[in-house]
Structure 1
């Protein structure tokens, strides 16, 4: 059992009773996965009807929101997928093609060819372009361990951020400057910071250094801190939200050039511990710091759901709509971005069958309807 102490927050968040299951008024029946006997909720009569033929990007834009998805060059070379992508997405997110290990096969050279292709694709189709991530411990190349140490870590960090951000200066809507710096479930520190090489070599100030370096290299881009495990009313989720909020407060108090929080939102269809009141309180606290909020990597893992596709698709769609119906009530939320668009191309392929908005044949699913309905119901920015 996880026992990390919850860090104090500026505003107390009351324990809410409204959860993922309580946010709808439709009649529900309980579907039990017999393997683990974990309850999920099936809504046999829930209405996922959408009105009109507008695309997701059009429905989002009508409310002052951005809708987009993550993809890489090799995926977008599939013409059928590319057509689907450009029809619905107003933003292209670089999924892997701007990570350290992709653009720096060795310590001395940078290969921007894939990233440049993505930028051209986005421009050609009138989309915004988003870069991810400038600093992330899991995206490092193999040579990193041999070459980077206490003496030269700052030089490598500053050089990388400066080179990459300057190369794309003026064409990137937003950068994930630092990704997943907090991992309360694995950290022995009171601030919850993950024991990354950057923390080991440079201390906690590496985060502020990264943002200041990015701002200098590309002063027009929105600079984002991005993190996970912020969605559920669990010991880890509660502590993670508190630690992230504390980090944001520290960065703002130091006048760090940070503009937004990215919430990954890798949801689980079987997870019922979603507390609407706690999430609203957290979003309000982040917004009170003067920060925007982006939902950056949204998908719904369907592992363990019933084998019946119609039944499992309904549960997944409900997870999308119920989550977004809460999150989009906060007007500081400016974008909803899915981590992939089609089940044919998803990082969840090993443990999920149908986690995204389109199936493997690029046909819309109920999850698409759920997203459209959430945009329709959202307040205008």
Structure 2
């Protein structure tokens, strides 16, 4: 009997088999195999999935390799920071849309969809908001901001992250609410207000609730899944126009954590509410790994593949976006602002070379069942 390859050998072989002669010369160095590389966006599209990156405006406006990678691989993009409050509304009476407009123009030129990110978040607020906004004027300010920003892009965006990260169990609020600025001013009603304002300003966009910490089979993530599901049930019960759940999917390698059956069950329950499922900020934190480069790459790729194979098996995921296009050394995760940096968190190397991660994600898309989108 022919011996079965171990997982590392399988990952390396799979990578070599998926890279080939349709790429520019530097990419050919990855393999002697002549099978052409198929862009991830095209592979995903065959399964009813839109694939893309969160875009860095400075790279998009000044790096030809970056532009080429994005245009080759993506069918959907989202601005990493260019539509956040501090970027578009830095002063009470001043909006600035230069960066957001540039990303939208690039996406339109390349027939890509675009997701907006984000209206309500506890971070990225300019100083004037926390200084000038009170319980008395908070609803008016929030509605006016959403009306202006969403109204500018009315009919042009695939979806909006209307509320980002509203659940934080450690804050010990009833229902698991994060004790954020908007919660302090308006209570849980800020979600109702934000979704209503977004629906009025851009009724065609898929209005999304976006959060992290939903992915792993551990006590923290299990409790958060339960709190988010309860919140979504309540929003739907009261007619709030939420139409999708964004699972950020900031993953970790080298921690021994696993994904289990609870996650597909959670996704099914969310779909039973009539919501789309988006993977919105996918990356892998490799700062916990202490192994050499080849083993590190295999460990990261393994996390990507196990996660995508699991969530795509639900046939419910219509968007997959990675939080960046190519590797930049950074602190990853939704909560982290300091600490060990991830070295290789994304699918492509600087310059656009596909990594082992990209090859295994390609395989996940190739073998995934057709995803079924919510209609109506």
| Aligned ranges 1:1-381 → 2 under 5 Å | 27=6, 43-46=8-11, 47-48=13-14, 49-50=17-18, 52-77=36-61, 78-184=63-169, 186-344=170-328, 348=332, 351-381=341-371
Deviation track 1:85-144 (CA, whole Å, cap 9, x = no partner) reads 110011111110000011112111111111111110101111111110011110211222
Tell me by how many angstroms 1:346 deviates: 5.3
Q: Which runs of 5+ in 1 are unaligned?
A: 1-24, 29-42
Deviation track 1:127-168 (CA, whole Å, cap 9, x = no partner) reads 111110011110211222211111111111111111110000
Q: Which runs of 5+ in 2 are unaligned?
A: 19-34, 333-338, 372-376
Further displaced range: 252-261 or 344-353: 344-353
Residue 78 of structure 2: SS of its match in structure 1?
A: strand
Tell me by how many angstroms 1:45 deviates: 4.0
TM-score by length of 1: 0.86
Alpha-carbon separation, structure 1, partners of 2:161 and 2:128: 23
Alpha-carbon separation, structure 2, partners of 1:26 and 1:101: 51
Tell me by how many angstroms 1:44 deviates: 4.1
Specify whether residues 26 and 198 from structure 1 end up closer, same or farther in structure 2 by C-alpha distance, changes over 3 A only. farther
Deviation track 1:269-291 (CA, whole Å, cap 9, x = no partner) reads 12333232111111111111110
RMSD: 1.6
Tell me by how many angstroms 1:330 deviates: 1.6
More helix by share: 2
Tell me by how many angstroms 1:304 deviates: 2.5
Alpha-carbon separation, structure 1, partners of 2:291 and 2:364: 26
Tell me if structure 1 keeps the 8 A contact 2:329–2:341: no
Whose relative contact order is higher, 1 or 2, with alpha carbons under 8 Å and at least 6 apart? Answer: 1
- Superposition misfits of 4+ residues, deviation over 4 angstroms: none
Alpha-carbon separation, structure 2, partners of 1:145 and 1:290: 35
Tell me if structure 2 keeps the 8 A contact 1:181–1:227: yes
Alpha-carbon separation, structure 2, partners of 1:132 and 1:200: 22
Alpha-carbon separation, structure 2, partners of 1:264 and 1:283: 13
Residue 115 of structure 2: SS of its match in structure 1?
A: strand
Specify whether residues 100 and 209 from structure 1 end up closer, same or farther in structure 2 by C-alpha distance, changes over 3 A only. same
TM-score by length of 2: 0.88
Specify whether residues 176 and 347 from structure 1 end up closer, same or farther in structure 2 by C-alpha distance, changes over 3 A only. farther
Alpha-carbon separation, structure 1, partners of 2:159 and 2:257: 31
Tell me if structure 2 keeps the 8 A contact 1:134–1:161: yes
Specify whether residues 69 and 346 from structure 1 end up closer, same or farther in structure 2 by C-alpha distance, changes over 3 A only. farther
Deviation track 1:226-245 (CA, whole Å, cap 9, x = no partner) reads 00000111221011100000
Specify whether residues 333 and 45 from structure 1 end up closer, same or farther in structure 2 by C-alpha distance, changes over 3 A only. closer
Tell me by how many angstroms 1:358 deviates: 0.8
